[in-house]
Amino acid sequence: MLIDKVYKVVQQLANKNQVGGVLTPLEFNRYAEFAQREYIEEMYNRANNMGYEYNYDISDMFSSIKKVQSITVSSGNATKPSDYLHYSSAYAHYVFKDEARLAPIELVRDSEWAERLGSEVNKPSLQFPIMRNMDDKFEVYPLSLTNITITYLKEPLLPWWNYTLSGSEEVFAATGGITTNPNAGVTPGNSTDFEVEEFEDLVWKICKYMGIEIREGDLYNLSNLEQNS
């Protein structure tokens, strides 16, 4: 698992830099969570107006946390999924002349919402619906819509390096570990891998949180050794 490879490299760098003694699994798991979340946010925001899928590599990277879900709309309100993180796209379901059809939904800014609803020439319709992003829901128009399908990025699972003990030494355990995995629906003794596969970025970020200064050559050499082991 990637999380074990990252753990081993971070441990080696921590020992090499002699910062704060031995890195405990609890500390590593906390920093791993921060590093994964920071990386996802960086990559999501990097594209600016081009959208987060501005190239195939980025699209592939996000595929592990992309979900599609149908949501019921009631009086123009669609409740967000409980694991919602970022919006990707949406379409509406409607019936025209007894035929089921789909229409892409335009996500508009708050400043555009009232303007579009009051427009005589660009008013939302079943064929051209709009919605805006609120706290825990989407507001959808026209009000006659009863169902939408949304594609979104979900909250990633927390990375969790679990272990057993061999004497006093912690040994990685993909399953059957002695700590309780905090992710809902995951067997308590299991490890949970990163949901992004950017080895060097994850190592770099975790070391940054620990206050470890890394030379690029050291990271490159250790990364190659661990990933090829």
Burial annotation 46-62 (CB, 10 A radius, 16+ → b, else e): eeeeeebbeeeebeebb
Between 205 and 17, the higher pLDDT residue: 205
Q: What is the pLDDT of residues 166-176, one digit of tens each?
A: 998 999 999 99
Domain 66-154 has CATH 3.30.70: no
Q: What is the pLDDT of residues 146-171, one digit of tens each?
A: 999 999 999 999 999 999 999 989 99
Indicate the domain borders of the chain: 2-48+157-227, 66-154
Distance of CA 66 to the CA centre of its chain: 8
Please report the sign of the dihedral spanned by the C-alpha atoms of residue 60, residue 174, residue 11, residue 8: negative
Q: Say yes or no to pLDDT of 121 above 80.
A: yes
User: What is the pLDDT, as a whole number, of residue 195?
Assistant: 94
- Token pair listed for 46: 């990097």
**Coil, helix or strand at residue 13:** helix
Length of the chain, please?
Answer: 229
Give the predicted TM-score (pTM) of the model: 0.82
Q: What is the pLDDT of residues 96-115, one digit of tens each?
A: 888 999 999 999 999 999 99
